[in-house]
Amino acid sequence: MRNLISMDFYRLSRSKLFIGSLIAILVMSFGFIFAEVALTNSLMTFAGGEIPIAEVTFSSILESPFVTFAPLLILINVVSFSYLDLSGGYVKNIVGQTKRKTDLVVSKLFVILVMNLIFMIVACLGVFLGRLATGAVIFDDLILAGLGTFAVKWLLINAISALLLFFSNGLGNKVIGIILAVLLGTGALNLAYIGVNTGLDALGVHGVDITGYLPSSLLGSVSAVGGELVVNAIVSAVVVFSVFTALTLILFKKKDVK
């Protein structure tokens, strides 16, 4: 298992998509904050008001690691990296040298968890640098709560990754995986969630909001600082991750390696 994980980390470090996405997320996170503050200052100047120093708390930066298209790039990397073995014939060459075929999936999943953490840290770094360049960052008393939100959002993005791994490795269908990555990464499914809520309300099921239970929607709403949906997010992440990881292992164990 250790050798498999080492090889997967090596393959990840050599991935042009991974390196390019890291750079893109860092630049986009910095650029988004810089543009946001510049636009605000321009509007204040146009209105004849005094331009204040943009101050933000460090806890708020930790709470918002996903800006612009960061989730989309992360999820596309998950699908691409998880399917790379199947498309490149690597699985066929290595499967006979492992004690359990499912070790390949476990190794891949472990590396994906670390990869997601790296992406999130880089995204926060970009936002932090952007805030420093345009104002000031205050290290407040809620940093631990901010770290709590960061950790919960890591669990959520890992749960979504497990879902994508099910399609790319369990079912061996990269196309569906990419489509889902785009829909989940851009938030396009939020429209479908609204439709489901409307349908439930029409059926007489009132007061139910499914967005409070789905990992993709909770990514943007959970907050340990504000105490919002933390328990929902943790339960949702653990359930989705466990179910789809188990299904992936079962299907991958039964399938013929080509």
pLDDT tens-digit series, residues 9-31: 998 999 999 999 999 999 999 98
Can you give the pLDDT at residue 86?
62
Mean pLDDT to the nearest integer, 229-237: 93
pLDDT tens-digit series, residues 180-228: 999 999 888 877 777 787 787 777 776 677 778 888 888 888 998 888 8
The closest of 152, 77, 59, 155 to 119, measured between CA atoms, is: 77
The closest of 244, 238, 13 to 118, measured between CA atoms, is: 13
Question: Is residue 55 helix, strand or coil?
Answer: strand
β-pair partners for 228 = 223
Looking at the predicted structure, is the pLDDT value of residue 236 above 90?
A: yes
Looking at the predicted structure, is the pLDDT value of residue 83 above 90?
A: no
Can you give the pLDDT at residue 238?
96
Question: Is residue 207 helix, strand or coil?
Answer: coil
Mean pLDDT to the nearest integer, 141-158: 94
Mean pLDDT to the nearest integer, 147-160: 95
pLDDT tens-digit series, residues 101-124: 788 889 999 999 999 999 999 999
**Structure tokens, 13:** 């470090």
Looking at the predicted structure, is the pLDDT value of residue 231 above 70?
A: yes
pLDDT tens-digit series, residues 36-80: 777 776 766 666 655 566 678 899 999 988 877 889 999 999 999
β-pair partners for 51 = none
Instruction: Give the global pTM.
Output: 0.88
> Could you give the percent of the chain with pLDDT greater than 70?
87
Count of C-beta atoms within a 10 Å radius of residue 82: 25
The closest of 96, 112, 127 to 158, measured between CA atoms, is: 112
Cα 42 from Cα 154, distance rounded (Å): 35
**Geometric angle at alpha carbon 146, from 25 and 22, rounded to 5°:** 15
Report in angstroms the alpha-carbon separations of 127 from 20, 87, 224: 18, 36, 19
Looking at the predicted structure, is the pLDDT value of residue 88 above 60?
A: no
**Geometric angle at alpha carbon 239, from 201 and 224, rounded to 5°:** 80
What's the half-sphere exposure (Cβ side, CA atoms, 13 Å) at 117? 10
Q: Note whether 221 and 211 are within 8 A (CB).
A: yes
Alpha helices in 135-173 (DSSP H): 143-165
